[in-house]
Amino acid sequence: MITLYDADRCPYCARVRIALAEKGVEYETVTIDLQNRPDWLYEKNPLGKVPVLEEDTFVLPESNVINEYLEERYPEPALLPADPAARARVRLAIERFDTNLGDAYYAYRRGEDGAAERLGRCLAFMDGRTPEWPFEYGLADIAYVPWLIRLRDLLGVELPEGLAERLDTLAERPAIAAEFGIVAALAR
């Protein structure tokens, strides 16, 4: 049985929850209190961060690495395209989400100077590219959707129209709908 060391609030954990749900993989969850992390978490991940996936003696941190592992271990349904160039474009998109949207999100949450403008520019850039994103639903969407859900439903940020529509479309997938449920519970 797979164990996921998890936190509801964490968008990186959400990536892994969504990928596991899409692939129909059963797992158990150990919820970590991020304000009061147990010392033993550092034995599983020297950075002390979640998510961490564990199966017997195999222990794996880092959301993107975990999702790539899940894709190889459970190839169906595929969450990466078959073509190597298309796969590389997905990986590039994920890299860009992490360094742009991820950083802008945390700066906004910390209330840093200029963070709202930076976040707005980032969302507008993503929104402008949405119609031509060169990938089918898969790991790229799964990589950014947790941040959009939290921005809209926890932080009250109004998303640009294209991104809001894409979020509504993705919400029809049970794996994503479950994540909306988790965030709704956090907002209560």
Q: Which is nearer to ligand GSH, 59 or 164 (CB)?
A: 59
Select from 61-69, 81-89, 159-167, 178-186 the region that touches ligand GSH (CB under 6 A): 61-69
Of 21 and 143, the one with the shorter C-beta distance to ligand GSH is: 143
Task: Draw the binding track, 140-179, toward ligand GSH (x: CB under 6 A; -: no contact).
Answer: ----------------------------------------
Closer CB to ligand GSH, residue 20 or residue 50?
50
User: What amino acid positions are annotated as catalytic residues?
Assistant: 10
Contacts of 138 (CB under 8 A, 6+ apart): 78, 79, 80, 81, 90
Question: How many whole angstroms separate alpha carbon 86 and alpha carbon 92?
Answer: 10
50 binds ligand GSH (CB under 6 A): yes
Buried/exposed code over 126-141 (b: 16+ C-beta within 10 A; e: otherwise): bbeeeeeeeeeebbbb
* Cα–Cα distance for residue pair 174/104, rounded to 1 Å: 28
Q: Is residue 67 within 8 Å of residue 81, measured between CB atoms?
A: no
Q: Does the footprint of ligand GSH cover residue 62 (CB under 6 A)?
A: yes
One residue of 10, 80, 143, 145 binding ligand GSH per CB under 6 A: 10
27 three-class SS: strand
**Residues in the site for ligand GSH, rule: CB under 6 A?**
7, 10, 12, 34, 48-51, 62-64
